[in-house]
Structure 1
Amino acid sequence: MKHHSAALPLVAAAVLLSGCAGSPTLGSGSSAVTVSQALPAPDATISTVDFSNYRIGPRDQLSVEVFGAPELKREGEVDAAGNLSLPLVGTVAVGGKTPGEVRDIVTTQLRGRYIKDPQVTVNITKAVGQSITVDGAVREPGTYPVLGRMTLQQAIAAAKGSSDLANLDNVVVFRNVNNQKMAALFSLKRIRAGQMPDPLVYGNDIVVVGENATRRFLRDLGSVPLLGNFVRFPI
């Protein structure tokens, strides 16, 4: 009986913890963010696949093509100095420039010397400058690039998925909309089951996967019971 009486307060504490701050929750009383049932798209952002005004930076990946000259196609990563090497043209300083400005530079370099009237296309295939932060109960929290249209499931997958301590019904997305901080709560479990739409995430979003406080409590004790099995806790 001694072991049972010692375990009871621990189990009671675990039950209480399941409703505590170990998992993010959203309420109407917050003054820091505006709680939204349906989180709208953020302020104007290149994540809406409009790269016309995007300023290229290091590690961004570009695709440069010249119509009628497939041998001049180049796909590569901008180096740390903001340069990209292109066939015939050589090294081009693309850092800080828009895709349209890079197109004009390449067109000027090719016109006359190599091609009479070059038709150049510059596309961004990976924009590191647009990134999201994934935090909380995921395997590898960190900052990840937004690659085109990215959903909440894909964002969590970029962080190598949820951890064993994750509360999949408690995933919060923070976003700036019209210069206001907003947040919405999602259930990854329901999204995976097809019961809730998988929302898009955008550059500068912060995704926080909540923790199951009870599971953390048990893990910290060093004893995680299997379903339906009791364990003896240390006194």
Structure 2
Amino acid sequence: MVFISGPAGCGGTRAQQALTAQALSQIKPPDPNKDLQQQLLVQASQASLAQYKDYQVGREDLLTITVLGQDNLSREVRVNGQGEISLPLVGSVKVAGLTTRQIEQRLQELYGSQYLVNPQINVAVKEYQHQRVAVTGAVEKPGSYEIIGPRTLLEVLAMAGGFSSKPGSQAGDTLNLIRHQNAPDLAKSTKTATIQPFSPKTETIVIDLRRLVSGQAPELNLPVKNGDVVHVPFAGTAYVLGGVRRPGQVSVKENLTVSQAVAMAGGVDPILGTYNITIMRFDDQGKPMSIAVNLKDIVARADPDLPVKDNDVVVVNESGLKRSLYIIRTLLPLPSGSYSMTSF
């Protein structure tokens, strides 16, 4: 058994206890799910087609080709299954995988080499190909979605209703973008995403979820392609028991600490609880271990505010004396002020 603890004595003046209680009452539990949801909606609402100037044309896209001063050459053409379009004079032109700017340059070269002097050509995407992506995990509306045109991770998450608001189903700290290996390797252009093998035919791009929705790392807002799976893993779960107001489970994310976990459980019960806490967890070898800490020492920064891990059980120890006095007072009510219950 491993113990990490500071002084846990029951001494101290009333003034010191009141000061500590005041400090503890100011600890507010974090609500990372609410923050993520708000940031997601803000970032998704700011999405614009201007972000897609580098969109690569694909099969079934409908293009508008405008040749200045040559109405007989201007037309709408759909990219065929081979990624080509057919135009007067120049015949079949391979366009799949090119941006509209690159297609313009290609057509200017083809027409300018034999047919036109200094041709001015504009290419625009009128209809984008239909694509299907799946959104799974800790989102409000998991499922399969049809998207038209280029879409980013933030937009697809917004289409799925954002992050789950169900108790015990909150999003974790990462997002997994799972795609076929033959899709463009967009993650190579960013140093902040890591690629991990998922299966022989797919790859998984692991992205920091909070950095993504904060807008501080726009390079993480990757374009979503046909056949992609956007998976939001669920947050881990820990349990806060003993002398707290609302014992139960809490979501483990965003470096959740012991003091925050206790605050999320309503704080220390003023009648039954003490400041002595025992963290029960399994080590890397699967063996049970215990860590003893004191909440007053954490607030006073005498002890570190340890991070809570998935499947931890945080027990706020109850005072046997306080419980006995509580029972006695419940059964045999005494005049107010006949005794006081001090904190341990």
TM-score (norm 1): 0.51
Within the candidate set 83, 92, 98, 2:143 is matched to: 83
Within the candidate set 170, 174, 191, 2:280 is matched to: 174
* CA deviations over 1:183-233 (Å, ceiling 9, x no partner): 111111111122211111111111000111111111112247877x349xx
Gaps (5+ residues) in structure 2? 6-35, 52-136, 161-173, 191-204, 211-231
Larger relative contact order, structure 1 or 2 (CA cutoff 8 Å, min sep 6): 1
Structure 1 match to 2:2: 35
Change (3 A) 1:230 1:139: closer
Q: Shift of residue 124 of structure 1?
A: 3.4
Structure 1 match to 2:223: none
Q: Shift of residue 138 of structure 1?
A: 0.7
Within the candidate set 290, 305, 308, 1:183 is matched to: 290
Residues 171 and 207, structure 1, Cα contact 8 Å, conserved in 2: yes
TM-score (norm 2): 0.36
Alignment of 1:92-111 (within 5 A): 99-102=175-178, 104=179
Within the candidate set 247, 254, 260, 1:141 is matched to: 247
Gaps (5+ residues) in structure 1? 1-33, 39-60, 93-97, 112-117
Residues 177 and 206, structure 2, Cα contact 8 Å, conserved in 1: no
Residues 64 and 121, structure 1, Cα contact 8 Å, conserved in 2: no
Query: 1:174 and 1:220 mapped to 2: Cα distance?
Result: 28
Specify the structure having the higher radius of gyration (Cα). Answer: 2
Change (3 A) 1:121 1:207: closer
Report the RMSD for the aligned CA atoms in angstroms: 4.5
Change (3 A) 1:205 1:99: same
Change (3 A) 1:218 1:87: farther
Query: 1:149 and 1:79 mapped to 2: Cα distance?
Result: 23
Structure 1 match to 2:265: 159
Within the candidate set 299, 312, 315, 1:205 is matched to: 312
1:124 paired with 2:209, answer: yes
Count of equivalent residues: 156
* CA deviations over 1:34-86 (Å, ceiling 9, x no partner): 23337xxxxxxxxxxxxxxxxxxxxxx786999xx83489xx95137x43869
What's the % identity of the aligned pairs? 25
Residues 129 and 145, structure 1, Cα contact 8 Å, conserved in 2: yes
Residues 175 and 233, structure 2, Cα contact 8 Å, conserved in 1: no
Equivalent position amino acid for 1:176 in 2: F
* CA deviations over 1:107-130 (Å, ceiling 9, x no partner): x6xx9xxxxxx9998543596431
SS at match of 2:209: strand
Q: Shift of residue 101 of structure 1?
A: 3.3
